[in-house]
Amino acid sequence: MMDTIRRLLQENGRLHTPVQQLSDMDDLYSAGLTPFAAIRTMLALEEAFDIEFPVGMLRRQSFASIGAVCDCVNQLVTSAQRRAA
C-alpha cells in the first residue's frame, strides 16, 4: 500500500522534493503539495484502491504527510472490506 501511495504522490503531487527523499512524517505541503495537487492525488488514490474519500476526510490534515495519507487510505480500505463481507 505504501509503495502505491508514494508512486501516486510522485505522479500527481507535483512535489518539488522527490518522494523517495521524504519520510512518512515529512510535511507534504512544505515539499510542494498544493490543494489542487492534493485533489489530483486523492482522485488517483480513489481509483487505485477502489475507495471514496468522505467529506470528513477532505481536509489539509489528511494529506499533511505520507503517513497521514496512508492512515486515511487504510481506514477506507478496511471499511470497504467490512461492508463487502
User: Which whole-number Å values give the CA distances from 22 to 34, 56, 66, in the listed order?
Assistant: 16, 26, 8
Where exactly are the structural domains of the chain?
2-84
- For residue 83, the model assigns a pLDDT of 86
pLDDT of 84 reads 86
- Residue 80: per-residue pLDDT: 85
Torsion angle defined by CA atoms of residues 58, 13, 20 and 6, in that order, rounded to the nearest 10 degrees: 50
Ranges of residues in the chain with a pLDDT under 70 are none
Residue 85: per-residue pLDDT: 80
2-84 carries CATH number 3.30.70.270? no
Q: What share of the chain is helix, strand, coil (3-state, %, to 5)?
A: 65, 0, 35
